[in-house]
């Protein structure tokens, strides 16, 4: 059996290019007919030929979305606990080299943030932090989870890569989901964008496997759109997801598709991804991985979010603030990790969803499911 690294390194621009020179529309129809899915379906669904079938693709995605998730949308919010970071990712507002106010919340402040979030009725929280061993230890994340457990049914983490033993501790503390975005699956490009501990491509790539082994119920994959051409990263992420699904068949997989946003850095996005392309990619993943959750963040504007939650996405963040302490008024939201496009309050999002025939779901987890 091929290793994950072999499979990922087997994805190449050249292969995709020659594939697209020959892929006819009727091959896409073959995928839509349900003859196969998973990683091999993705290149067809985002092929140039697929552009003639956008309506069929949207319809198929919508059917599968309804079949697997009904008319519900899960809401959650990110909770930034620290923006100290030793990494120097060229595209990130929290990069070490960026002069900006840094804060790590204290346990009391985390509790205050949790209370503010809970007031908006949200019950699912995503803990986010930068990587800085001096300020942010596994002990501290563990303590954070224990505080948040008092307020929320579901706690997921978007944190720097850890080893299996550390992941096990966090599962035991009460975290059910782990998001680890590869940013880009192109090893060379990855290397040129990162410095600091994050530079280790393979350790990051294998985080999802370690997390699944450690017992997380859900693993979130994602790429930062705009770094590499999106076709490549979509194909590689699909390969990663399929490999994980076969090896860790008890672990649910979810996908996110964040596009690079203004960050206060002078980074020029090398391969900007348009809204149409983003939608095509999301629809493709809905069809190729019909049981996987797809999340859409407040990086995108409300019109786009409202449209994709009815066609393919199943989760959305709501009223997000991307600076530590911003929910409870400890700090303003100006120096966040990225710019927010959809600033609606949770209650507005809920009433908009209801008006379009979707049920906003706050609780879809229970502490009874944690060890």
Partner 1 sequence: MKDLIIAGQKFGSRLFLGTGKFSSSQIMRKSVIVSGTELVTVALKRIDPGAKDDGILSCIPKGIRVMINTAGARNAKEAVRIAEFAGSAGFDWIKLEIHPDQEYLLPDPVETLAAAELLVKNGFKVLPYINADPVLAKRLEDAGVHAVMPLGSPIGSNQGLKTELMLKIIIEQCSIPVVVDAGIGLPSHASAAIEMGASAVLVNTAIASSDNPVLMAEAFACAVKAAEMAIKAVPPLAGYKALATSPLNIF
Count Cα atoms within 13 angstroms, Cβ side, for 162: 27
364 touching partner 1, by CB under 8 A: yes
Q: Backbone dihedral region of 215: left (phi > 0), alpha (psi from -120 to 50 degrees) or beta?
A: left
Kindly indicate which of the ranges 69-77, 138-146, 194-202, 311-319 contains the residues binding partner 1, using the contact rule CB under 8 A: 69-77
Q: Is 276 helix (H, G, I), strand (E, B) or coil?
A: helix
Q: How far is the CB of 248 from partner 1 (least distance, A)?
A: 9
**Dist CA 20 CA 17 (whole Å):** 5
Q: How far is the CB of 366 from partner 1 (least distance, A)?
A: 4
**CA-to-CA separations, 114 to 111, 148, 178, in angstroms, rounded:** 5, 7, 19
Token pair, residue 14, equals: 């050249």
Contacting partner 1 (CB under 8 A), which of 161, 174, 226, 245? 245
Query: Which of 126, 292 has the CB closer to partner 1?
Result: 292
247 touching partner 1, by CB under 8 A: no
For partner 1, the binding residues in 200-229 under the rule CB under 8 A are 217
Q: Is 129 helix (H, G, I), strand (E, B) or coil?
A: strand
Q: How far is the CB of 250 from partner 1 (least distance, A)?
A: 4
Query: Which of 66, 115 has the CB closer to partner 1?
Result: 66
For partner 1, the binding residues in 263-292 under the rule CB under 8 A are 291
In three-state form (DSSP H/G/I as H, E/B as E, the rest C), the secondary structure along 156-180 is: EEECCCCCHHHHHHHHHHCCCEEEC
118 touching partner 1, by CB under 8 A: no
**Dist CA 92 CA 115 (whole Å):** 28
Q: Which helix (H) or strand (E) holds 145?
A: helix 138-148
Residue 362 and residue 124 in contact, taking contact as beta carbons nearer than 8 Å: yes
67 touching partner 1, by CB under 8 A: yes
Kindly indicate which of the ranges 11-19, 62-70, 75-83, 264-272 contains the residues binding partner 1, using the contact rule CB under 8 A: 62-70
* 91 CB burial (10 A radius; 0-12, 13-18, 19+): buried
Contacting partner 1 (CB under 8 A), which of 10, 48, 70, 133? 70
Q: Which helix (H) or strand (E) holds 79?
A: strand 72-82
155 touching partner 1, by CB under 8 A: no
Q: How far is the CB of 7 from partner 1 (least distance, A)?
A: 19
Q: Is 142 helix (H, G, I), strand (E, B) or coil?
A: helix
34 touching partner 1, by CB under 8 A: no
In terms of Cα–Cα distance, which of 115, 116, 135, 117 is closest to 126?
117
Contacting partner 1 (CB under 8 A), which of 15, 66, 115, 188? 66
Contacting partner 1 (CB under 8 A), which of 2, 15, 17, 71? 71
Q: Binding-site residue total for partner 1 (CB under 8 A)?
A: 27
Kindly indicate which of the ranges 13-21, 61-69, 78-86, 203-211 contains the residues binding partner 1, using the contact rule CB under 8 A: 61-69
Residue 110 and residue 148 in contact, taking contact as beta carbons nearer than 8 Å: yes
Query: Which of 188, 247 has the CB closer to partner 1?
Result: 247
Kindly indicate which of the ranges 7-15, 65-73, 199-207, 274-282 contains the residues binding partner 1, using the contact rule CB under 8 A: 65-73
What does the binding site for partner 1 look like in residue numbers (CB under 8 A)? 66-72, 153, 217, 245, 249-253, 291, 354, 357-359, 361, 363-366, 368-369
């Amino acid at each position: 059996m091929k290793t994950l690294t072999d499979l990922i390194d087997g994805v190449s621009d050249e292969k995709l290019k020659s594939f697209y020179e020959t892929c006819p529309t009727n091959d896409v129809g073959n995928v839509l007919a349900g003859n196969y899915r998973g990683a091999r379906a993705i290149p067809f669904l985002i092929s140039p030929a697929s552009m003639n079938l956008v309506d069929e693709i949207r319809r198929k995605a919508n059917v599968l979305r309804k079949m697997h998730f009904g008319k519900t949308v899960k809401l959650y919010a990110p909770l930034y606990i620290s923006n100290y970071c030793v990494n120097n990712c060229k595209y990130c507002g929290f990069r070490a080299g960026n002069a900006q106010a840094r804060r790590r919340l204290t346990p009391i402040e985390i509790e205050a943030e949790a209370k503010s979030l809970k007031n908006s009725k949200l019950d699912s929280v995503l803990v986010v932090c930068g990587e800085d061993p001096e300020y942010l230890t596994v002990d501290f994340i563990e303590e954070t989870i224990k505080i948040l457990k008092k307020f929320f049914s579901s706690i997921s983490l978007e944190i720097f890569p850890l080893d299996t033993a550390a992941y096990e501790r966090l599962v035991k503390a009460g975290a059910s989901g782990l998001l680890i975005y590869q940013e880009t699956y192109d090893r060379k490009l990855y290397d040129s964008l990162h410095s600091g501990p994050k530079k280790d491509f393979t350790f990051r790539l294998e985080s999802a496997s370690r997390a699944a082994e450690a017992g997380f119920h859900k693993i979130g994959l994602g790429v930062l759109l705009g770094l590499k051409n999106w076709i490549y990263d979509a194909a590689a992420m699909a390969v990663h997801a399929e490999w994980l699904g076969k090896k860790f068949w008890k672990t649910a997989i979810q996908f996110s598709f964040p596009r690079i946003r203004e960050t206060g850095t002078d980074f020029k996005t090398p391969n900007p991804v348009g809204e149409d392309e983003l939608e095509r990619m999301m629809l493709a993943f809905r069809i190729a991985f019909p049981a996987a959750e797809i999340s859409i963040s407040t990086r995108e504007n409300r019109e786009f979010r409202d449209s994709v939650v009815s066609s393919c996405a199943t989760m959305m963040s709501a009223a997000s603030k991307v600076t530590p302490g911003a929910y409870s008024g400890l700090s303003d939201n100006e120096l966040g990790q990225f710019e927010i496009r959809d600033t609606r309050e949770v209650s507005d999002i809920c009433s908009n969803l209801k008006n379009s025939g979707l049920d906003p779901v706050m609780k879809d987890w229970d502490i009874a499911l944690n060890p």
